[in-house]
């Protein structure tokens, strides 16, 4: 699993070896990483909790999740995944584009049921727990797809698409009482997506408030007020934290020198990088790489 690629969802992802664009990533927090920073993407995502407890937020609404829970992240939704206190969490990340279920010809299924989800005009329930009437059927669809992907039998693509159609039928047929209203005004969420996309694409460059505010069509003062209100921290603090998160991934997933990783994540001053890395992680980058040994969930 490419951690940096996982963190940067706006980058082009590789398909699996089968060439079929339905991707799954098994992940463990904090064994693989402590947190997936706030991000968004055009694909549909299911976060299927297998063991433990964690925290997932969708459009700034936090959800404490437990083994068995399923988090539904529709295209364009801002979301993050992180530790809950000292707990560990093992989960399966499922990602696919809704166009997988589309058609080249006019199609009532796409136009009526899937296009509204893809465009953000229709929300789905965010948290599917065992207490919901549709839980067993929804979980069964995902479990059966996992079983199919263990052996990839001839025609498996047809069966996976069939299970996905069944899954969305279940969402539509059990929608009463499970749909949460938008957490924030759509314009605020769209502006936040624009800012985060720019950070994901340019965090390794010298990135000033003047540059990003101009790219987002805002004055510097308006940008700083908006960002602090929305993210509950100044932009420079967020940018440093994001860069440090990316640096920590590279320290564990590559053999590049600390100096190279610092430069690749936007830090041109090695002593400054070492100092703020230690402030965040409680150890130097070299110590982090050498001593990061977290026991798996039992």
- The pLDDT tens digits for 9-21 are 333 344 455 578 9
The Cβ-side half-sphere exposure at 106, using a 13 Å CA radius, reads 0
Instruction: Give the domain ranges of the chain.
Output: 3-173, 186-291
Residues 6+ apart with CB under 8 A from 276: 240, 244
Per-residue pLDDT tens for 136-187?
999 999 999 999 999 999 999 999 999 999 999 999 988 744 455 566 888 8
pLDDT at 288 over 60: yes
> What are the beta bridge partners of residue 250?
none
pLDDT averaged over every residue in the chain: 88
- Nearest CA to 43 among 18, 6, 1? 6
19-65 tens-digit pLDDT: 789 999 899 998 877 788 889 999 999 999 999 999 999 999 999 99
CA distance 298 to 233: 36
The fold of 3-173 is Jelly Rolls (2.60.120)
User: How large is the average pLDDT for residues 212-223?
Assistant: 96
Q: How far apart are CA 113 and CA 116, in angstroms?
A: 6
CA torsion sign, 34 to 39 to 43 to 47? Answer: positive
Reading phi first (left if > 0) and then psi (alpha if -120 to 50, else beta), residue 45 is in beta
Distance CA 173, CA 187 (A): 30
pLDDT in tens, 45-57: 999 999 999 999 9
Does domain 186-291 fall under CATH 1.10.10.60? My reply is yes
């Amino acid at each position: 699993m490419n951690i940096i690629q996982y963190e940067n969802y706006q980058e082009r992802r590789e398909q699996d070896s089968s060439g079929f664009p339905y991707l799954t990533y098994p992940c463990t927090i904090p064994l693989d990483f402590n947190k997936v920073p706030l991000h968004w993407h055009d694909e549909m995502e299911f976060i299927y909790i297998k063991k433990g407890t964690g925290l997932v937020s969708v459009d700034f609404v936090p959800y404490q999740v437990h083994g068995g829970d399923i988090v539904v992240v529709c295209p364009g939704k801002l979301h993050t995944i992180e530790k809950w206190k000292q707990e560990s969490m093992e989960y399966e990340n499922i990602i696919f584009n809704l166009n997988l279920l589309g058609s080249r010809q006019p199609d009532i299924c796409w136009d009526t049921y899937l296009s509204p989800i893809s465009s953000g005009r229709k929300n789905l329930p965010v948290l599917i727990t065992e207490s919901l009437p549709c839980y067993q059927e929804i979980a069964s669809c995902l479990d059966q797809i996992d079983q199919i992907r263990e052996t990839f039998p001839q025609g498996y693509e047809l069966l996976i698409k069939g299970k996905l159609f069944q899954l969305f039928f279940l969402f539509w047929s059990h929608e009463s009482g499970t749909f949460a209203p938008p957490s924030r005004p759509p314009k605020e969420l769209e502006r936040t997506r624009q800012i985060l996309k720019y950070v994901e694409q340019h965090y390794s460059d010298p990135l000033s408030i003047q540059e990003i505010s101009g790219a987002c069509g805002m004055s510097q003062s308006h940008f700083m007020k908006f960002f602090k209100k929305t993210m509950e921290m100044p932009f420079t603090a967020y940018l440093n934290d994001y860069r440090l998160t990316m640096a920590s991934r590279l320290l564990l997933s590559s053999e590049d020198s600390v100096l190279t990783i610092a430069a690749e994540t936007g830090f041109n001053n090695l002593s400054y990088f070492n100092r703020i890395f230690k402030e965040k992680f409680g150890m130097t980058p070299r110590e982090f790489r050498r001593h990061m040994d977290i026991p798996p969930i039992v």
